[in-house]
Structures are given as structure tokens and as C-alpha cells.
Amino acid sequence: MKLRIFILSILFLGVIFVSFKTSEENFNKDKNNNTLVKKQPNLIIIHTDEHNFRTLSCYQELMSEDQAFVWGKGNNATTPNIDRIADEGAIATSYYCSSPVCTPSRASLVTGLYPQATGAPKNGMPIREDIPTFATILKAQGYATSYVGKWHLAGGHEKYKFNIKYKAGFDDNRYMMTGGHTPYYQFTKDGIREININKAKGVPQDEIIHATDYFTDKTLEILERDKDKPFALMLSIPDPHTPDHARPPYDKMYEGLDIKAPKTMEEKYVKMRPSWATGKTNNEAVGKKSFINEKNALKQYFGMVSHIDDSVGRILKFLDDNNLTENTIIVFTSDHGDLFFEHNRRNKGMPYEASAKIPFVIRYPNKIMAGKVINTAYNNIDFTPTILSLMDIKTDVKFHGLDTSHDYISTEKVVNSDRITYFARTGGQWVCAVSDRYKLVIDKDEKPYLFDLKKDPDEIVNFYYDKAYATIAKEMQNELFKQLKKYDEPGLKNNKAYIIK
């Protein structure tokens, strides 16, 4: 009997020790070395530009084959490192940008506000300096805050420049760049300068570096410097944006693919498009001849995605090697998508999924269970309030976005929701209400379009006038106009053509 009590006592003490040890890993001693203080979680955001969510294999795995491979069976990139974030954390299947254009989307991400409230509702406009960002809030909480890569919130358009005066809370912004997508940088006696693809061919390889490598290198240098204190870092990689050039060996990685035209490029479907999808400005429309000539661009795009994925792998390895994995939140996302021939279009600016839906995967082992799938409509205005809540940061700042942290930290492996949010075209030409299944687009010059993303993932059929969808159409429209008024969305909120009946 005594022996049994002794053994049970040892086991009990062992449990207590393991429990204490596990808890201790998330705590630090204070400067007097006598008080345990809870560690603040670190934050890393890896943000890309013009990134089609279909090119991440973690998304491909959740889609039907025809949706995962719209450019032909097997024709897509693979992303094992980004997949690791999703596998060890959560993936959001219906995450949208506030506006499918660089500047307004980025402004929303860092502020939690719709573009009209940020001072930057259009490309080339500077973000307001009197509104908080997640970085200003974290900096006030003692975080080392850093930004590396494309910013596009300092005014001007596509002008390559460092030394940005307004930091928006990112204390270390030495490598914050105004904008531009020139693939290479050259080191000179006068500093670093951008060079295009053709000039790069004539420069010694030890004098140039690809932008993705440069910004990843600088990220790792900052992480090494700040690894022993709470840090928040945002890495904004300018790829896979045009000019669709991957550096060797990524430029040859997908050359064997036989790229096919997406289904929605077929003439019968092109004729069915609404007027808001037919514009031919900014080289955003294509045809059969253009598609043949631009097939290689998609292969280069896949190569850029693989290059980005390897860079993500470098950062994940740093976290593993420095015992930072458990207490670091890492997010991979983008500002908007790229249609890449779907609906006979290129690039962005459309309410279609490939333009407006963005990848979003997040890992935080201390709070988010591995393998979580979240099927609810999010908007990147939700990012700032959600990430601050996950980090246990209290603030009185008011956001347009919602704190959706409960979806991430819940015990549900799969989270489903019928929440409706909205996003809009810069300038108020169209607005779009979206849930996890339905999408309602209302344009100033076009009849309303209601898409059923489950029955019609290609977004071809307009169900707005289908009697079976009358209740859904009314619900989506009522909620859309309610939110337009609440958030003072310009343009369509007073459009008399679509007054709710």
C-alpha cells in the first residue's frame, strides 16, 4: 500500500513538473530575476502582391480538381512551406480584401478600417498619419516593430524609394519601399538601386540580388537582432506581381507545363459577362492571341510563387532553430489576387474570386489548433482587431473590422458561418456583398448579379432573378446597404436605382 502511494506521489509530482515546465516556456523572469512575467507573443506577417489564392497547394487541396487547376490538370504551383503554416494552424477559405487594388487593401489591413476612412482609397494616395495602425498599438506595448518590403502607402505610384518619412508605427522601416516591381537590385558605391531584367543580364551576379531574396535576407537579420524580445515584423514581398519574371532556377521550374485556357475564356461565357467585367484598360483584358503569347507569363508566375514559398521556409527554419515557433504568430496573406486569364481578364480590380479573394493562413501553436479550416467570409479590415485580440492586446481604438479571434481559438476543427461582409471598387463603381457561399454585385451601370459559389464556382450564372433565390437576394441586398450606410461607403449608398423594396 505504501509503495503504491509512493508511486502515485511520484507520478503526481511529475505531472506538476511537466505542467510547470510547459507553462514556464511561455514566461520570462523580470529584470530582478524573481518574478515570472508572461511572454508576449511575437508576430510575423508575410504579405505578397497580386497573389492568386489558387496557387497555394493548401487551397488546391480544399477545392475540386477543376477549380484547383483552372489552367489544365496538374498545372499549378506547389507550396510546401506555406502549406505547413496551414497544416499547423488555420486556413481561411473565404478571406477578401476591402478593395481589389494595392493601396486601399494595404491601408485596410494595417488599420482595420475601410479605405474611405484611411486617406488612401485609391492607388498612390498616402495613408493618414492621425489614425492608429496595429504597429502603433504594438509599439506602445513595448514591441520592436519592423517593416520590410513594398509599402505603397506613402503617396506617389510605382516609384521605387526607401527612406520613407512616416513610419506608421514601424520603428525600423529602413527597408520599407514606396512601391515598384523591378525584379533586381544592384549594389553600387552610392548604395542600392533598382535594375530591370535586361540590365540585370549584363551585371556581375555578385553585384545584384533579386527583390524577394533581398527583403527576406533583411527580415532574417532583423529577426536575429530582435529574437530575445517581443517583436512584430511585416515582410511585404513585391512578387508575384507583374512583370512576371522569376529568377533562376525558378524561371525554368514549370516550363514543361501545357497551359490551357480557363473555362471562362470560352466565347459563350465571355458573352455572358456583365459590363463591369468587360473593360479593356490597363492591359487587364486578354483574347485568344494574347493568351497564346502570355502562357509563359503564367509559368513565370508559378516560379515566383515557389521562390516566395522557399523564402517562407527560410523564416520558418529560423523560428524552429531559435525555439520561437510556439510563441510566434505567423501569417501569410496578400493584398489582392490576379485573374490570370479567368473571365478573359488579367490582374485585379474585379469582384471575381481570383481578383478579390486572398490567401490567408495563420499559425499560433499556443492558441490555434492544427489543421483548422474556417469557412466564413472575412475581410482584411478584420485583420488588425483580430490579431491584437489573439495577442491579448487591449485597446480603445475603434475599428470597422470585427474581432474574429474566437473562430481561430475555438475547439472546432471546422468553423462554418453565414456572415455577410462587403468590399468595393475604388471610386464607388460597384460594391459586393459576400458570404461563404453567395456573392451579390451591384454596379451603377449594370443589373445586380447574384452568384452561388457552391453551385457555380466559375461565377457565370446570375441567380438574382431566380425565384428560388429571392430570399437570399433580399437578405444579401439588405445587409449590403446596411453596411454601406454604417461605414459611409461612397458612391452607391445613395444610388436610387437599387432602393430596397
In order along its 501 residues, the chain shows pLDDT tens digits of 444 444 444 444 443 343 334 444 455 554 455 444 568 999 999 999 999 999 999 999 999 999 999 999 999 999 999 999 999 999 999 999 999 999 999 999 999 999 999 999 999 899 999 999 999 999 999 999 999 999 999 987 667 889 899 999 999 999 999 988 999 999 988 888 899 888 888 888 889 999 999 999 999 999 999 999 999 999 999 999 999 999 999 999 999 999 999 999 999 999 899 999 987 765 578 888 889 889 999 999 999 999 999 999 999 999 999 999 999 999 999 999 999 999 999 999 999 999 999 999 999 999 999 999 999 999 999 999 999 999 999 999 999 999 999 999 999 999 999 999 999 987 778 999 999 999 999 998 899 999 999 999 999 999 999 999 999 999 999 999 999 999 999 866 555 545 444
Does the residue 314 lie in any domain?
A: yes
Which cell numbers hold the place of 30? 523580470
Number of structural domains (the chain) is: 2
User: What is each CA distance from 423 to 68, 302, 481, 488, in whole angstroms?
Assistant: 24, 27, 12, 13
Q: 118 and 208 in one domain?
A: yes
Does the residue 34 lie in any domain?
A: no
Last residue of a domain, one of 421, 444, 466: 421
Q: 334 and 385 in one domain?
A: yes
Q: 96 and 202 in one domain?
A: yes
- Residue 130: burial class (beta carbons within 10 Å; 0-12, 13-18, 19+): exposed
* Domain extent at residue 383: 41-421
The CATH number covering residue 50 comes to: 3.40.720.10
Last residue of a domain, one of 421, 443, 476: 421
- How many whole angstroms separate alpha carbon 457 and alpha carbon 461? 10
The CATH number covering residue 442 comes to: 3.30.1120.10
- How many whole angstroms separate alpha carbon 349 and alpha carbon 342? 13
Q: 440 and 415 in one domain?
A: no
Q: 408 and 438 in one domain?
A: no
Residues in contact with 311: Cβ distance below 8 Å, sequence separation at least 6, in sequence order: 212, 213, 216, 237
Q: 454 and 342 in one domain?
A: no
Q: 364 and 428 in one domain?
A: no
Q: 393 and 341 in one domain?
A: yes
Last residue of a domain, one of 400, 421, 442: 421
Nearest by Cα to 427 from 4, 18, 91, 103: 103
Q: What secondary structure letter does DSSP report for 39?
A: P
Does the residue 176 lie in any domain?
A: yes
- How many whole angstroms separate alpha carbon 178 and alpha carbon 124? 9
Q: 467 and 332 in one domain?
A: no
Q: 385 and 493 in one domain?
A: no
In three state form, how does the secondary structure of 86-135 look? HHCCEEEEEEECCCCCHHHHHHHHHHCCCHHHCCCCCCCCECCCCCCCHH
Q: 416 and 449 in one domain?
A: no
